Amino acid sequence: MSNQYVIVPQNYRSDSMVSISPADKRYFEQAQAKQKSPPQQMMFGGYSPSPSLQKTLSTQLSEQSIDEFGRMQKDSDTELVVQYILQLRDTEKREQALSELSKKRESFPHLAPLLWHSVGTIAIFLQEIAVVYQHLQPAQLTPAQSSRICSVLGLLQCLALHVQTRSCFLRAHIPLFLYPFLNTSNKSKAFENLRVTSLGVIGALVKGDDPEAINFLMQTEIIPLCLRIMKKGQELSRTVATFIVQKILLDDNGLNYICQTPERFFAVSQVLQTMIDDLHQSQKDDQRLLRHIIRCYLRLSENQKAGEVLKKYLPQVLKDPTQSFIKDEVVKKWHNNLLQNLSIK
């Protein structure tokens, strides 16, 4: 008998540490049931028919059978994903499996719980990551190594985004494994991609406005790492790093933490100022970055102490209420509110 569903834990219980939605629970139960009745799942030989065949079928079949067909297609997708997960265990096939799985990230909503609950998968990811550390210093990362590790990071991002795996992901302290990648300054594409993709994982964690995630990141000192990238990084990594700091600031504990000491406040406001000066001097029209910077300033201005200090330290270009390099209407409004909070307007 095929062993393709061995990755579904046999003793899986919905009331264990992890909270699982009814949809995922059903999904696991179906997968387990299939283990007992393999013939049905083999109807399409495990793969979905070609697009032209799909089209023919969908014009000829009744609505009910189209539904049925859609379901079988999903099953064949599951089978493929499960096969790739099993192939991770084979070092010869691992690279290909990583790349295929990371392509399935958006189209296969159950990927995160499957990855997390399958035996050994996370250990394989961590091993892949640890192998790369030795190439960070001195900088010897090849484009191929970088791209392989970016596939792993893409899968970690999927775990960070999914509500049912995010908390496990944090409790296992997995973000810490990415900090060495954020702590690099090599300008090559291999390193920049690694930084941007690692920031993407952290960005996925803060996206959900989950205080547990924000708290974990603050405690483990993500802020100085982000500030460094904001100061010296390239366009994309800079933008994602600023987004992360913005999300931390928008959290009440995050704002208090940053405004707790003058050193922290000044470290943040100086980097924001450097970025504004850069944008202004280079005449670069980077509205996305500008949006995050203004949102950070506005949030800082909501803290009484920080607001008083900002009155003095806000970059000159931002003190002008009529300045025109902000184009987005929402950002213009934030800028207005900022000036009002600081009683500059």
User: By the criterion CB under 6 A, which residues form the site for ligand TRP?
Assistant: 221, 223-224, 258, 263-264, 267-268
Output 2 or 260, the one with its CB closest to ligand TRP: 260
Cβ of residue 89: shortest distance to ligand TRP, in angstroms? 40
Query: Nearer Cβ to ligand TRP, position 125 or 297?
Result: 297
Minimal CB distance residue for ligand TRP: 264
Identity of the residue, 109 or 224, whose beta carbon is nearer to ligand TRP in the bound complex: 224
Q: Which two tokens stand for residue 165?
A: 């795996």
Q: Supply the minimum distance, in Å, between the C-beta of residue 229 and ligand TRP.
A: 13
Among 147, 154, 52, smallest CA distance to 102 is for 154
How many alpha carbons fall within 13 Å on the CB side of residue 318? 32
Q: What are the CA-CA distances from residue 260 to residues 192, 209, 292 (Å)? A: 32, 21, 22
Q: Which amino acid is at 207?
A: K
Residue whose CB is less far from ligand TRP, 104 or 264: 264
Query: Closest distance between ligand TRP and the C-beta of residue 296, in Å?
Result: 12
We find the least distance from the C-beta atom of residue 221 to ligand TRP, in angstroms, to be: 5
User: Under DSSP, is residue 58 helix (H, G, I), strand (E, B) or coil?
Assistant: helix
Task: Please report how close the Cβ of residue 251 comes to ligand TRP at its closest, in angstroms.
Answer: 13
DSSP assignment of 153-219: HHHHHHHHHSHHHHHHHHHTTGGGGGHHHHT----SHHHHHHHHHHHHHHHHHHHT--HHHHHHHHH
Report, in Å, the least distance between residue 338 CB and ligand TRP.
Answer: 20
- Residues ≥6 apart with Cβ < 8 Å to 59: none
CB of 191 to ligand TRP, least distance (A): 22
In the complex with ligand TRP, which residue's Cβ is closer, 250 or 344? 250
Q: Which is nearer to ligand TRP, 153 or 217 (CB)?
A: 217
Which one, 116 or 297, has the nearer CB to ligand TRP?
297
Q: How far apart are CA 308 and CA 342, in angstroms?
A: 7
* b/e map 177-194, b = 16+ CB within 10 Å: bbebbbebebeeebbbbb
Tell the smallest beta-carbon distance from residue 259 to ligand TRP (Å). Answer: 9
- The rounded distance, in Å, linking the Cα atoms of 201 and 155 is 9
**Comparison of 18 and 267: residue with beta carbon closer to ligand TRP:** 267
